[in-house]
Every structure is written in C-alpha cells, then in structure tokens.
Amino acid sequence: MKLGLVHINMGSMSQPDALVAATRAAESAGFDSVWAGEHVVLPDPQVPPSPMSPQDPALDSLFALAWAAAHSTTIRLATGIVILPQRNPVVLAKEVATLDVLSGGRVMLGVGAGYLEPEFRALGANFAERGAVTDEYLEALQALWYDEHPEYHGRFVDFAGIDAHPRPLQQPIPLVVAGHSPPAYRRAVARAHGWYGYWLTPDEVAASVAGLRGAADQVERPAGLGTLEISVTPRGRLTPALATAFAEAGVDRLVALASPTPDGPMRAIEAAVAAIADL
C-alpha cells in the first residue's frame, strides 16, 4: 500500500514553513506522494456544495508543489486535483512541463471536471459542458507534451503551427482522473493511469471500483496505460482495520487528510504509517 498526504497547499500547510515541514516529514516517513487540491475562488457567503469557507486559505496547487519540489528529493508531486475545464490548457501544459523539469520528473497530474458553478462563473469557464471540455483539454495537453508538431482542433481549444519546450521529463506524465460519476469512470479507464476518490468509505470505494469495471466494458483502455491505480482519501480516522478494508476493496494508495491544526500533518503521517504496518 502506497501513502500520500493531501491538501499540502491548504489550511495550516498553506504557510511556507509548514508546507516544507509536512513534505519533508512525509518523504522521511516513506510516503510516495504529496497532493495539492484546488479552488481558485470560493462563493461568499459559503453555499452548498462548496466544501470550504471563502476565507479558508488555499495556495495555487502548482505553485505549492513547486515549493515542495524545491525542498524535497524523491517524493512525487500530485495535483489532487486541478479543475481542468477552469484552466487554459496551453498555459497548463507549460506549467506542468515546467514543474516536471524542475522537480526531476516527479509530477502526477490529477484532474477533475469540477462541480462548483459560482467558481466557474467567476472564471468565465464553461460549466454546462465541463465534461466535454475536460476531454478536449486532456487531448490538447497530450498533443503539446508528446507530439513532434503539436496541433489540435476541437470545439473548445484550437491550435496549430506552435511548439513549446522543454517537454516534460516523464514521457508520459502520469495522469489521474477523479470523480464518482459514470463519465469520470469512463474518462479514467480510457485516458488515465489512475483514479482518485476523495473522502470515501470502503463500501463507497467498492461501488466506485464496480463503476470503473463497468466503464471498462464500454470504453477501450489503451494497453500502454497499464493497470488502473486506485488512490483514495479515506473518510474518518485511518486505523489498521480501515486500511485493511480499503486494501480489500482494491485501493493501491491511501492519501491521508490532515486535520487543520498545526500538528495535524504529523499526526496524519504517523497514523497512516501505523495503519498500514501489517499490510
């Protein structure tokens, strides 16, 4: 069982020294990855389904991961997740490639289609067609990273006669798709190296794994992607019994969530290490 630590760009870990301390502690404890979430803006006042207060601090995910990269050596740097249809894909391709080069090839790009309409509206992003936008943007990113002469012509993004270097060190960048809907399952099966579920119980993971298997009957998975890796942030305190249940549900990586207190990251790291000790 692999271990990750999520939201290193939020709460107490949004402070520079705290972010560095959490990253180094996770790396020293044998975690394979740190994850940064994303909300560019939040509705004020808070309204459902917004998960956070508008005053909750959240650093830009890629900037935070660059800071983590500069203060670590081996731990992988994952977005958990970038809300892809809110981003300009050409700019994002440059940012992710840059982070991969600067970190020595440690980036994992986690993406989702998003769900918070006020955030989309503030950014001028296409909420109604966000699933279709997400699929096109993924294709555009791959063209910019891997094609000798990048070119893409779609409904939402269109370019030709351009190039961008340096390319990512990793060929390919590991891609993780998040979401608990049938389109997200199909997107993960058809396009991604991994799937990420947030704040789930083992039973909810089992349901999502079943959804991913159903999607595999509907869309073709390229052989080059390999086996789909399952990463999950558990709901509730992580214990050995809970870790065992997640392993039995098919989870490959537990991405621990720290409490917002100053000692939250260290407590989460210690609890996660203890929870998987006998797996």
pLDDT of residue 227: 98
Rounded Cα distance, 254 and 242, in Å: 11
pLDDT of residue 232: 98
Q: Give pLDDT tens digits for 112-166.
A: 999 999 999 999 999 999 999 999 999 999 999 999 999 999 999 999 999 999 9
User: Residue 63 — very low, low, confident or very high, per pLDDT cuts 50/70/90?
Assistant: very high
pLDDT of residue 33: 99
* Spans of all domains in the chain: 2-275
Please provide the average confidence, as pLDDT, over all residues in the chain. 97
Q: Which CATH superfamily groups domain 2-275?
A: Luciferase-like domain (3.20.20.30)
Whole-structure pTM value? 0.97
Given phi > 0 = left and psi -120 to 50 = alpha, else beta, which region is 105? left
Q: Give pLDDT tens digits for 80-95.
A: 999 999 999 999 999 9
Contact 113, 134 (CB under 8 A): yes
pLDDT of residue 51: 92
Alpha-helical regions (H) of the chain: 16-28, 61-70, 89-102, 117-123, 130-146, 182-191, 202-216, 240-248, 264-275
Tell me the mean pLDDT in the region 242-252.
98
pLDDT of residue 123: 98
Report DSSP state, residue 22.
H
Rounded Cα distance, 21 and 128, in Å: 40
